[in-house]
Amino acid sequence: MAKQSLHELEAVIADRKANPIQGSYTDYLFTKGLDKILKKTGEEATEVIVAAKNDSDPDLILEIADLAYNVLVLMAERGVSVDQIQAELASRIGPSDAKKLKERPAIKKL
């Protein structure tokens, strides 16, 4: 099986958003919109937590992959790229991590 990078998966998801394949799960999520994408992302995050509490690494890997896919769909919906996430993560490396965390704006309540 060929390895697929996050950039490649990001490109596939972007293509599916621009050129929907009716009946595909990705099309379903984009058609239903942000609220459905957020719901599925939350469900997958919960499933990762549950799988992490169990002893099955294959189940944990499967759930993390599902979460990663849903996060990438969310990113595409909101126009956020893998490169932007990589840049943010890279900016956190080093002794200034604590300072950056303190400067982070509060999350708006829904």
Give, in order, the Cα–Cα distances in Å from 101 to each of 14, 80, 106, 107, 108: 31, 20, 10, 13, 16
Q: What does each of the 110 residues of the chain score in pLDDT, given as a tens digit?
A: 567 799 999 999 999 999 999 999 999 999 999 999 999 999 999 999 999 999 999 999 999 999 999 999 999 999 999 999 999 999 988 866 556 666 767 777 76
Whole-structure pTM value = 0.82
Domains and CATH numbers, the chain: 6-90 (1.10.287.1080)
